[in-house]
Amino acid sequence: MYKLVWKDDFKKDGRPDEKIWRFEVGGHGFGNNEAQYYTDSDKNAYVKDGVLNIVAHKEKYKENNYTSAKLTTYKKKSIKYGKIIVCAKLPKGKGTWPAIWFLPSSIQEGKPWPLCGEIDLMEHVGKNPFTIHYSLHSKKYNHILNNQPTFVHKDDSVLDEFCKYELRWDEKSIAFYFNDQLQAKFENNTGDVEAWPFDQPFYLIINLAIGGWWGGEIDDSIFPVNFQISKVEVYEKE
């Protein structure tokens, strides 16, 4: 059984709840050659009618030609084990790269990636529509080595409907669900921190990247594009 620890169902229009969310600002490519500048502008992230909207625009901003937003719960809400649910509708178009993912607080305190670990609950690139990627990254298993635990799932509804992305995480395993259906489960078989660093507090990240090494060619005709989230819920085991 699980008990609800915190949630955001975006009931109040305007800025995202500052008790839960903070903006990560910058335009340096974030290690992926991404094209956007993440701002803290109301134009790029706002709540309206029960939905968090993360909107990317084609516009010149500092050294970048696109703007978007990246929200995190760092130093606001940490998560270690339990069940996390995010309901989201994904943007359409080549060059979009929305993600729902987790990094540990330790990365902000000097522990390098990928030793620190990374959990990807949902990644989608617009050049390959309807395809959801679930992945884990560690020092021994990551996308640079091309050996990360990963699973790919296709569903035609993800661009037109709010779908439920769910993570169930404990000491022994991490499992990914889509609309209540199990998609993949990765086991902690080693006890080795270089293979399984998922025994520490993580924070949630929701962002819409544009372009980059994986996002690829950008279709400028699609803008503005909107990544929408209707609910975030975090549970602990009773």
Count, residues in the chain? 238
Locate the DSSP E strands across 90-194.
96-104, 118-123, 131-137, 150-154, 163-169, 173-178, 181-187
As a whole number of angstroms, the distance between CA 238 and CA 152 comes to: 31
Catalytic-labelled residue, pool 18, 24, 34, 118? 118
Q: Catalytic annotation on 236?
A: no
Closest Cα partner for 124 from 139, 114, 116, 134?
A: 134
Query: Could you give the residue ranges of the DSSP H alpha helices within 43-137?
Result: none
User: Residues 205, 72: contact at Cβ < 8 Å?
Assistant: yes
The side-by-side arrangement of strands in the sheet containing 96-104 is: 22-23, 70-72, 202-210, 96-104, 118-123, 131-137, 150-154
Q: Catalytic annotation on 118?
A: yes
- Apex CA 134: angle with CA 133 and CA 136, to 5°? 130
Catalytic-labelled residue, pool 34, 123, 166, 233? 123
Instruction: Give catalytic residues, as residue numbers.
Output: 118, 123
